[in-house]
Structure 1
Amino acid sequence: MVDLVGLHKHFILEHLGEGEVAVDFTMGNGNDTLFLSRTVGATGKVYAFDIQSEALESTEAHLVAEGAPKNYTLICASHHRVKEFVKEPIKAGMFNLGYLPRSGKKTVTTMRETTMPAVEAAIELLAPDGALIIAIYPGHEEGALEGDMLREYFKTLSRFQICASEFHILNSPTSPYFFLVEKTPRTTPYTGK
């Protein structure tokens, strides 16, 4: 069976390299933060967002235990506020929508009201030839609604600036899936304005 997590990391590696800037928009327990940190190396930067202080604590412990380069900034704020903290173009961003894994708090979840402005900001920050991965968990109601909302939004974007793709298992409708959003190489980079 296809490994969707491995596949989405493969797509990020096609766009992100040493010394570049990346954002983990939904830090959780820090697995994507660690992946991004190792990918950009000591000369790169990673910003990671979560609204739960326990996510920051868990991520910091995970990064230290795994010997990640100290190239990351952990931010206790909603991902829709990304442009308050990130003032430069990014080459990659990762969203794992849903709730904090293994927390037991399934009532604290990403919501459409903040996910949409976060994704819009991420696309604006995305450098030419940059990529976003957005993992969707349709097994719970808000996750299914987030996926539907984003699918409709991506259909409205100019294919000359953005290529949006969807990857899912066709005969397992409640399995996680992801969107890959790539900015074309000829777009104008973000200038922080």
Structure 2
Amino acid sequence: MKYSYRITDYCHRFLEQYIEPGDICVDATAGNGNDTEFLCRLCGEDGMVYAFDIQEEAILGTKERLEKCGYENRFCLIHDGHEKMGEYVKESVSAIVFNFGYLPGADHAVATKPDTSIRAVGEGLKLLKKDGIMSLCIYSGKDTGYEERDALLSYLESLDPKRWLVIVNQYFNRKNDPPLPVFIIRLK
């Protein structure tokens, strides 16, 4: 079997172990709908995926993509900031997916910010069920800077190790600020 080592594909392989048909999941940054589609497929007909994005073009593109897949009854798209997910999602969730940075192919000036990203992760942690998982793809570098990456890593380092397992991966031999795949698993 041939594997892709792009950050999103790498995270998907890890997430597959935690998501079952009927689960509730959140795509905190819908973007082009790749993660939302992945979560809808795993949750199945009886599951639900809540997907957030502040950009209307992302919501519309994701909706079109999911409808083409026949997933009409598996998702709820929310045109609002991911830091407000607790206002919309009332169930315990199995998995939450984040991609920090900007929407590929869109205006790079519109990107996630450290303060709302940390609030969003905190809101997501409240929603995760025991043994639930959160995936964070943290992009940094010339377009997005390092402020958000450093703020998120500092926040994650402060999480109670009795309640949370935080795994930070890195592409160690890649140049030019490769993304960081991060996983948070709720222990209690």
* Structure 2 portions without partners, runs of 5+: none
Equivalence map 1:29-48=2 (5 Å): 29-48=32-51
Q: Which residue of 2 aligns with 1:113?
A: 115
Equivalence map 1:104-143=2 (5 Å): 105-140=107-142, 142-143=144-145
TM-score, normalised to structure 2, is 0.92
Secondary structure in structure 2 of the residue aligned to 1:15: coil
* Contact 1:132–1:180 (Cα < 8 Å) also in 2: yes
Deviation, 1:141, is 5.7
Deviation, 1:175, is 1.1
Deviates more, 1:65-74 or 1:121-130: 65-74
* Structure 1 portions without partners, runs of 5+: 188-193
Report the RMSD for the aligned CA atoms in angstroms.
1.5
Equivalence map 1:73-152=2 (5 Å): 73-103=76-106, 105-140=107-142, 142-152=144-154
Deviation, 1:3, is 3.9
Q: Which residue of 1 aligns with 2:52?
A: 49
Deviates more, 1:93-102 or 1:4-13: 4-13
* Contact 1:98–1:143 (Cα < 8 Å) also in 2: no
Structure 1 pair 63–175 and aligned structure 2 pair: CA distance change class (3 A):
same
Deviation, 1:139, is 2.1
Secondary structure in structure 2 of the residue aligned to 1:163: strand
State the identity as a percent: 34
**Matched residues in 1 for 2:21 and 2:145: separation?**
33
Deviations 1:131-173 (A, max 9, x none): 0001011123645221111111111112111000111111335
> Partner amino acid for 1:137?
Y
**Matched residues in 2 for 1:59 and 1:88: separation?**
22
> Partner amino acid for 1:127?
K
